[in-house]
Amino acid sequence: EDQVTQSPEALRLQEGESSSLNCSYTVSGLRGLFWYRQDPGKGPEFLFTLYSAGEEKEKERLKATLTKKESFLHITAPKPEDSATYLCAVQNYSGYALNFGKGTSLLVTP
């Protein structure tokens, strides 16, 4: 059975203090690994898809990387508006459902 574990559960950063969020996974044939951002009272908002080990993608202050066992979401010089819950999900070759981790709740203070 696929498993996705995210750490830490919660992270508090000062504005400008860079850090990384971790997503460890076990999956029977990875089709893709997805990162989402979720704001309170809203649905998850798509950020990135990674398909193979070594792949990297960037968007503004966010950079996602992938190895065969884990993915990292690097946040460079975060701003308060980056505060949200970040969700990682895997999709395997047996179907198209996403299997989500529990998320990392990020708070960036001024």
Partner 1 sequence: DAGVIQSPRHEVTEMGQEVTLRCKPISGHDYLFWYRQTMMRGLELLIYFNNNVPIDDSGMPEDRFSAKMPNASLSTLKIQPSEPRDSAVYFCASSSQGAQPQHFGDGTRLSIL
Beta-bridge partner residues of 16? none
Residues 14-53 interacting with partner 1 (rule: CB under 8 A): 31-32, 34, 36, 41-46, 49
The least distance separating partner 1 from the CB of residue 69, rounded to whole angstroms, comes to 20
The least distance separating partner 1 from the CB of residue 21, rounded to whole angstroms, comes to 15
User: Does residue number 78 form part of the binding site for partner 1 (CB under 8 A)?
Assistant: no
Nearest Cα residue to 106 out of 35, 7, 10: 10
Residue in the block written with tokens 């750490």: 7
Per-residue x/- mask for partner 1, residues 46 to 75, rule CB under 8 A?
x--x--------------------------
Residues 91-110 interacting with partner 1 (rule: CB under 8 A): 91, 95-103
* The CA-based dihedral angle spanning residues 74, 6, 84, 63, taken in that order and rounded to the nearest 10 degrees: 20
Angle at 56 (CA atoms; ends 51, 57), nearest 5 degrees: 95
